[in-house]
Chain A
């Protein structure tokens, strides 16, 4: 069971809303390139929302639109019910860019102090937040080291700290675990889950589909600037679910009879594997196995991974090979 199924504190209150958004970039000489086409989705308060897609699918463009760094060609974007250019909106959001690069002449203390000043925090408030955040991202030991000497993973951690400096209600993260070792990546995922428990909304762009499947409540798959799948992780994976019944000592007659029901069968290491996408037929198969004195070894409900769903969806949409 994924973490997303353990706790869904989503409230139904829309935090981010995109309605029929289209974005074209000028290419010079009057030409344009289409980055997003008729994209619509909502992000609800208290959920971890995943935006996934192959390279060039429009993920970063979507993030930039939500942050007010670029302007939509058409359509409407609302963050907390207001324009993303509204300054009051920016007081409530935190952002970690992909492969973050910060002022490398500063050290971690100075960098976080600078961002804290932009929010108008007093000296004591800044000191308090900086202590808390450096502890949270495990960077206290390196607080006086100039950022130019940081590794990619250290930069990512400090990037996460700056995104949290204002205790944001909405956290937008572009590839937050890239370049981080497995323990660090695990810590970040745990932190995101904790933040969700506190009622924060997290908007996550990632290529790491296993992470997205593990922690996201809802997912949108983008391809070539269009939404090709959206829904909860469960909704996306459920259609791919099969029940796998593994048994031994199954007579040939029963094997053929079950196969005749349209069930996928396979012989493996002296055992027989039955895979049923029609779950109502499971008792019938079990009864047949028992009737011929066969022994059931295991009954497992299997779903494809988000990665499988993603690859199928992208290929069905007619995209070139994923790079």
Chain B
């Protein structure tokens, strides 16, 4: 655990000393802080606007930081040959990778926490009271980013920088629409069409298409589970059970991704 922590600490230290990190982070803080100024464009909806704009900023800027750091993590170590001196020390490959992931998670946590605190403060000011749902939404946004970071890191064990970034962004957009994928794959469930009647009507091509969609649905992370904006905007309460289930799902998904990354990294040559 010591070695993992040393690498995680170093990864965090490196991330927060990058100019890119500070530019994006400060821009995000300015965007969230200015949400209240722009809320005037939606009279009577200021609370919803601040929340929507703030959470959108957290997700967007958090994603920029997480994907960039995650995707560059291993390629930059190999390109700069810093990995030679690390792996020639008593560091196992899985420890190195886990340390890198924890460093990335720590950076994302600190970034989201800072942005989240600012959003909670501004939202509480506009709403004239603390809304716990906002905290829940920020926590879920963090786990959503953690999954994307783990995808970028896993891809970076084999892929090039450009591939890793494109891959992670693509997975994010597909994952954010995962329930739509299922709806497309199983229209009879969603459109209340008679199953037998429907199956009779569709061709083999549609079967293949549906199979592909279902496979993609099961492979990509269900990121829409982490999006509670609709519930909050409609002023419904986000149940704790939903939050906990999503967090557990996020942790499980990240664990599987890191396991895959470790397997891919184990026989990698430098």
Q: Interface of A with B (CB < 8 Å)? A: 25, 64, 67-71, 87-88, 90-91, 93, 95, 97, 99-103, 105-106, 114-115, 117-120, 162, 166, 172
Q: How many contacts between A and B, using CB within 8 angstroms? A: 68
Pair B85/A97 contact, Cβ less than 8 Å: yes
Residues of A within 8 A of B80 (CB): 101
Residues of A within 8 A of B2 (CB): 117, 120
Pair B90/A90 contact, Cβ less than 8 Å: yes
Q: B90's contact among A95, A100, A105, A118, by CB below 8 Å, is which?
A: A118
Pair B90/A102 contact, Cβ less than 8 Å: no
Residues of B within 8 A of A70 (CB): 269-270
Pair A117/B85 contact, Cβ less than 8 Å: no
Residues of B within 8 A of A90 (CB): 88-91
Task: Tell me, in angstroms, the Cα distance from A71 to B91 when the chains sit together.
Answer: 17
Pair B89/A118 contact, Cβ less than 8 Å: yes
Pair B87/A67 contact, Cβ less than 8 Å: yes
Task: Tell me, in angstroms, the Cα distance from A122 to B74 when the chains sit together.
Answer: 28
Pair B88/A118 contact, Cβ less than 8 Å: no
Residues of B within 8 A of A162 (CB): 85
* Minimum CB distance partner of B18 in chain A: A105
Residues of B within 8 A of A69 (CB): 84, 87-88, 269-270
Q: Is B13 an interface residue (CB 8 A)?
A: yes
Pair B270/A64 contact, Cβ less than 8 Å: yes
Pair B82/A103 contact, Cβ less than 8 Å: yes
If A69-B269, A71-B269, A117-B6 touch, whether A102 touches B88 (CB-CB below 8 Å) is: no
Q: Identify which of B3, B81, B88, B91 gathers the most chain A CB atoms within 10 Å of its CB.
A: B88
- Shortest CB-to-CB span from B235 to chain A, Å, is 45
Residues of B within 8 A of A93 (CB): 88
Residues of A within 8 A of B6 (CB): 114, 117-118
Residues of A within 8 A of B90 (CB): 87-88, 90-91, 118-119
Residues of A within 8 A of B180 (CB): none
Q: Is B45 an interface residue (CB 8 A)?
A: no
Q: Identify which of A100, A114, A117, A118 gathers the most chain B CB atoms within 10 Å of its CB.
A: A118
Pair A103/B269 contact, Cβ less than 8 Å: no
Task: Tell me, in angstroms, the Cα distance from A310 to B89 when the chains sit together.
Answer: 33
Interface size on B, residues (CB 8 A): 24
Residues of B within 8 A of A97 (CB): 81, 84-85
Pair B270/A101 contact, Cβ less than 8 Å: no
Pair B84/A95 contact, Cβ less than 8 Å: yes
Residues of A within 8 A of B86 (CB): 118
If A87-B92, A118-B90 touch, whether A105 touches B85 (CB-CB below 8 Å) is: no
Pair A103/B91 contact, Cβ less than 8 Å: no
Pair B82/A102 contact, Cβ less than 8 Å: yes
Pair B88/A105 contact, Cβ less than 8 Å: no
Since A67-B87, A87-B90, A100-B81 are in contact, a sample of 18 more A-B pairs with Cβ atoms closer than 8 Å, ordered by chain A residue number, is A64-B84, A67-B88, A69-B84, A69-B270, A70-B270, A90-B88, A90-B91, A93-B88, A97-B85, A99-B81, A101-B82, A102-B82, A103-B82, A105-B14, A114-B10, A118-B86, A119-B89, A166-B89
Task: Tell me, in angstroms, the Cα distance from A88 to B92 when the chains sit together.
Answer: 11
- Shortest CB-to-CB span from A166 to chain B, Å, is 8
- Shortest CB-to-CB span from A18 to chain B, Å, is 17
Task: Tell me, in angstroms, the Cα distance from A301 to B89 when the chains sit together.
Answer: 46
Task: Tell me, in angstroms, the Cα distance from A103 to B81 when the chains sit together.
Answer: 10
Interface string of B89-129 (1 = CB under 8 A from A): 11110000000000000000000000000000000000000
- Shortest CB-to-CB span from B177 to chain A, Å, is 35
Q: Identify which of B81, B84, B85 gathers the most chain A CB atoms within 10 Å of its CB.
A: B85
Task: Tell me, in angstroms, the Cα distance from A100 to B85 when the chains sit together.
Answer: 9
- Shortest CB-to-CB span from B10 to chain A, Å, is 6
Task: Tell me, in angstroms, the Cα distance from A88 to B18 when the chains sit together.
Answer: 34
- Shortest CB-to-CB span from B99 to chain A, Å, is 10
Task: Tell me, in angstroms, the Cα distance from A93 to B87 when the chains sit together.
Answer: 11
Q: Is B17 an interface residue (CB 8 A)?
A: yes
Residues of B within 8 A of A117 (CB): 2, 6
Task: Tell me, in angstroms, the Cα distance from A119 to B88 when the chains sit together.
Answer: 11
Task: Tell me, in angstroms, the Cα distance from A115 to B3 when the chains sit together.
Answer: 10
Pair A118/B91 contact, Cβ less than 8 Å: yes
Q: B88's contact among A71, A95, A99, A101, by CB below 8 Å, is which?
A: A95
Task: Tell me, in angstroms, the Cα distance from A88 to B90 when the chains sit together.
Answer: 7
Task: Tell me, in angstroms, the Cα distance from A261 to B91 when the chains sit together.
Answer: 65
